[in-house]
Structure 1
Amino acid sequence: MSATILSANLPPSSFEPASLPPRSGVGLKTQHVDAILAANDGKGADVGFFEVHAENYMGAGGMPHDQLRRIRERYPVSIHGVGMSIGGAQPIDKDHLARFKAVVDRYEPGMVSEHLAWSTHDDVFYNDLLPLPYTDETLQTVVEHIDEVQSALGRRILIENPSTYVTFVESDWSEFEFMKEIARRSGCGLLFDVNNVFVSATNHGFSPQAYIDAYPTELVQEIHLAGHASDSDDDGNPLLIDAHDRPVCRDVWALYRQTLSRTGPLPSLVEWDNEVPEWEVLEAEAAATEQILGSNRIRPQVA
C-alpha cells in the first residue's frame, strides 16, 4: 500500500470527522455507569461525552455492551484504541481491525483515535505502548498503517502523541514535526495529550511550553488530560510515569490553558484508568476541565 493522502481514497463525506462537543469528557468505567445515569434526578451527569477503549467492547454482547448502549443513548462517545500497533513494523492485524470496525459501526462515536506506538511483534502482544524512532522509514510505515485503518473505517482517525521514557539516536525528525507530517500525508487528525507532553519533557529535559508552541495545534481535534506518578532513574534524575492513577497536577493544568490559548475550546477528556476513584472524584475533575474550557470560548487565530 502506498502512502497516499487519505482524501484520494475516500469520498469527502466519509473523510470529514464526526464531532464531539467542545466540553469535558471522562473515560467510562463500568462501576460508574449507574451513578452517571442516576445523577441529577435521573437526567444524567453533566458531562459532555464519554470515552471507551475499543478493546473492551470487542465481544459480541454481555454487560459491557449493555452499559455502553445505555450511555450512548444519552451521550456522545469517543472510541480510543490501544492495540492497533500503528507504529509497528509488521502489518496491521486484519482480525483486530475488523473487530475495531465493528465497535465503531455499532456505537457511531464522535471521534476515533489511536496511539503513535507499537505493541506487537510476531504473535506476541505487549501490554504497553512502546516508542518508535522518528525516521523516514518509520514515517512511511505509520502513514501506510493509518491509511489502511482509515480506509477500513471509512472515516478519519486521530493519532495521539506518546509519553516516552527513551529516545532513539536514529531519529531525524522532532516529535512535533513527525506528528505534523503524519497528518499531512495521511489526512488524519491529532489527539493532543497534555500530560504526555509534560511526562516526556520532564524525562528528556526539554521545555513543555516550547513543545506546545511548536506543535501543529491547528490539527488537534481532541485533548487528553491525566495524572502521572513521580519516580527517579538510576542516576537520581526525575522520572515521570504516565500512570493515569491520580488527579491532574497543577503543571499539567497550566499547560492545558496554554494549549487552549492556541486551539480554542476542544473536546477534553480526563483519563483515570488505575486506582479508579468514586464517580464524584472524576466528576470534579471534569468540572475543573469545564471551567477552564469556559474561559476559552473564542478560538484564537494562530499564525
Structure 2
Amino acid sequence: MSTSSAPSGIGLRSPHYADFAPRAREIALIEMHSENCFGGGRHLQALLAARRDCAVSLHGVGLSLGSTDALDRGHLAALKRLADRVEPMLVSDHLCWSSVGGVYVNDLLPLPYTTEALRHVARRIDQVQQALGRRLLVENVSSYLEFGAAEHSEWDFLAELVRRSGCALLLDINNVHVSAHNHGFDALAYLDALPVDAVAQFHLGGHSINPVTLDDGRACEILIDTHGTPVCEAVWALYEHALRRFGARPTIVERDNDLPPLQQLLDEAARAARLMAAPADRAPAHEGRRDACAA
C-alpha cells in the first residue's frame, strides 16, 4: 500500500488478472473501464475481487459528454448500478465526443473550446451527476489539431467547466505533455492556470513519437497518446510540478497496449507513490520542450 496521503495504482487490464489476484493487498488503488463491467462476467468478478483489498476508480469511455446526441440513459443507468454496487473512490469519463447521429466512433475526439460548447457540456455533466448521485471527474484528452473557432484556451475552458458544473478534473499529465508539444503551448503554464481545488486525480501514461514532414518540407515530430509505452522522464517531471501545484492526488498509471509484465506497472505506481510522499519543497522540475508542428 502507498504510504502517501493519496493512493497510487494501476489500470487493471484482463491479461494481468491472474497475476494481480495474489498481489491485490500490495496495491492501494486500481482503475477499470466501467463499460467492461456492465455485462458482468470475468471483468466484473475481477473488479469485485480487487475491491475487497484496495480502492477502486471507475473510468469510462462511453458517455460522449460533448456529443449533441441525447445522453444514453441506458448507459447512465448501468453506470449507476455499477457504482452503487462497487462504491468506488472515483468515477470519471473524458471531455470529448464519441458519437454523432447515434453512431459511435472508436475515438475520444476533442471539443472546440467555444462558449457554446462550454454551456452544452456543463449542462450534460450536471445531468450525469444528477443521474449518478455523485460527482463526476472529467479527463482532458490529447489532441493533434486545433479548432479555428476556439474562444478559450483548453485550461481556461476546464477551469470554467469545473466552476459551472461542480465536476472535478482527472488531470492526465501525459495528455498535457502531448498536446503542449503538438500545439506549442507551455505545459507548466497550463497546470499553473488550473484552480488547485479543481483536480481530484492524476493519470500517467506513455506516448509514441511520430516523425512527419510538413508541406513546406520541414521535419518535426508529433506525439501520439498510445498508452503503449512506459511513462517518460518529461512526463514524470511534469507530474512533479503538478504535485507541487495541486498536492498529492490519487494517481493511476495507465497502459492499454503492448502490456509489459505486471511488475513493471507496479514499479511505475511505486515511483508515483514515492514522489507523492517526497517533501513538498523538492527542487523544481524542468520539462524539456521540442519544437511543435503547430503553425
TM-score by length of 1: 0.87
For 1:157-196, what aligned pairs fall within 5 Å after superposition? 157-196=136-175
Amino acid across the alignment from 1:260: L
Distance 1:244 1:208 in 2: 19
279-288 vs 250-259, which moves further: 279-288
How many angstroms apart in 2 are the aligned matches of 1:140 and 1:46?
Answer: 43
Question: 1:54 is matched with which residue?
Answer: 34
Match of 2:253 in 1: 270
Q: How does 1:178-217 map to 2 (within 5 A)?
A: 178-217=157-196
Q: Report the counterpart of residue 16 of structure 2 in structure 1.
A: 32
Check conservation: 1:157, 1:189, Cα contact below 8 A. yes
The residue that corresponds to 1:250 in the other structure is 233
Partner of 1:134, secondary structure, is coil
* Pairwise CA distance, 1:66: 1.5
Answer yes or no: is 1:259 the counterpart of 2:239. no
Tell me whether 1:110 sits opposite 2:92 in the alignment: no
Which of structure 1's runs of 4+ aligned residues deviate more than 6 A?
none
Residue ranges of structure 1 left out of the alignment (5+ in a row): 1-19, 299-303
Is the counterpart of residue 72 in structure 1 residue 51 in structure 2? yes
Are 1:201 and 1:208, in contact at CA under 8 Å, matched by a contact in 2? yes
Q: 1:143 to 1:48 in 2, by over 3 A?
A: same
Whole-Å separation in 1 of the counterparts to 2:56 and 2:193 = 30
**Structure 1 CA distance, aligned partners of 2:25 and 2:213?**
45
Deviation at 1:256, TM superposition (A): 0.2
What CA distance in whole angstroms lies between the structure 2 residues aligned with 1:114 and 1:87? Answer: 11
Please state how far the C-alpha of 1:276 moved relative to its aligned partner. Answer: 1.1
Deviation, 1:234, is 4.0
CA distance in 2 between counterparts of 1:64 and 1:162 reads 25
1:36 and 1:45 in contact (8 A); partners too: no
Letter in 1 for 2:77: A
Calculate percent identity across the aligned residue pairs: 45
Consecutive unaligned residues in structure 2, runs of 5 or more? 282-295
Choose 277-286 or 94-103, whichever is displaced more.
Answer: 94-103
TM-score for both structures, normalised by structure 2: 0.89
Root-mean-square deviation (CA, aligned residues, Å) is 1.6
CA distance in 2, matches of 1:114, 1:188: 11
In terms of mean alpha carbon deviation, does 233-242 or 72-81 score higher?
233-242
Query: Does structure 2 retain, via aligned residues, the 8 Å contact 1:33–1:71?
Result: no
Deviation at 1:21? 6.3
Amino acid at match of 1:28: L
Q: How many angstroms apart in 2 are the aligned matches of 1:70 and 1:94?
A: 28
Displacement of 1:64 in angstroms is 1.5
Closer/same/farther in 2, CA of residues 21 and 114 from structure 1, 3 Å limit:
farther
Q: What is the CA distance between 1:194 and its match in structure 2?
A: 0.5
- Count of aligned positions: 274
Matched, 1:138 2:117: yes
Q: CA deviation at 1:133?
A: 0.4
